Amino acid sequence: MAVHVVDHPLAKHLVNSLRDRTTRPEAFRQMSRTLSTMLVFEATRGIRCDSRVVETPLAETVGDFLGQGLAVVPVLRAGLAMLESALILFPDVAVGYIGLERDHNTAVAHSYYCKLPNLADRFTLCVDPMLATGGSASQAVALLKANGAKPVVFVSVISAPEGIERLQRDHPDVEIYTAAVDDRLNELKYIVPGLGDFGDRLYGTM
């Protein structure tokens, strides 16, 4: 399905501020929260609404209200940076966690943790700031689908063409929301120009 690039001027400003190697962890965290809020807002446009009667101080009218809950599943650990935005925006949020760790030699991820809520009838977001090779994203989405998630939307800060291609090939029904599509992966499977290791920069563990 479609790749949606959130290209609002503020989103562009935030992405490039995150890229800056001189950005300190505290500023990195704040900008990540703001950008994640923008991404989650856009990625949830397809959430179901139900209509019901509302009585205002002046009249009776019919209005739309959220008709289903949201499930947000960050891929640990960097995906945690995107969780708070969904918790602030939505009144009914169930949270799960998927732990996938990439082998730096093979670039293949292995699962070390998976804890998911009941995903039935919830609009499900899988969030991971960096969509690089697409291997971790594809594994995470497969786990969500196996546990009843439908639909699943993938949300990232920065994406590589290789990761988008892999996720679309493995899960053509999953829409992707991102703030930037970068040039390529380097020989170490890092996104170029990218912003380095998101988790390390977020938590100051470089």
- Report the pLDDT value the prediction gives residue 82, as an integer from 0 to 100: 94
The active-site residue, picked from 50, 92, 173, 200, is 200
Nearest CA to 32 out of 119, 150, 116, 127 is that of 127
The active-site residue, picked from 19, 29, 77, 102, is 102
Is 170 annotated as catalytic?
Answer: no
Look at residue 126 and give its three-state secondary structure. Answer: strand
* Structure-token pair, residue 178: 């991102």
User: Per-residue confidence of the chain (206 residues) as pLDDT tens digits?
Assistant: 699 999 999 999 999 999 999 999 999 999 999 999 999 999 999 999 999 999 999 999 999 999 999 999 999 888 999 999 999 999 999 999 999 776 666 656 677 889 999 999 999 999 999 999 999 999 999 999 999 999 999 999 999 999 999 999 999 999 999 999 999 999 988 999 999 989 889 887 76
- Neighbouring CB atoms inside 10 A of 72's CB total 27
- Report the pLDDT value the prediction gives residue 112, as an integer from 0 to 100: 82
Is 200 annotated as catalytic?
Answer: yes
- Report the pLDDT value the prediction gives residue 204, as an integer from 0 to 100: 76
Is 197 annotated as catalytic?
Answer: yes
The active-site residue, picked from 106, 169, 183, 205, is 106
Cα separations (Å) of 200 from 21, 24, 85, 150, 196? 12, 11, 20, 32, 8
Is 102 annotated as catalytic?
Answer: yes
**Given the DSSP bridges, would you call strands 60-66 and 191-192 parallel, antiparallel or unpaired?**
unpaired
Please, are residues 8 and 38 in contact by the beta-carbon 8 Å criterion?
Answer: yes
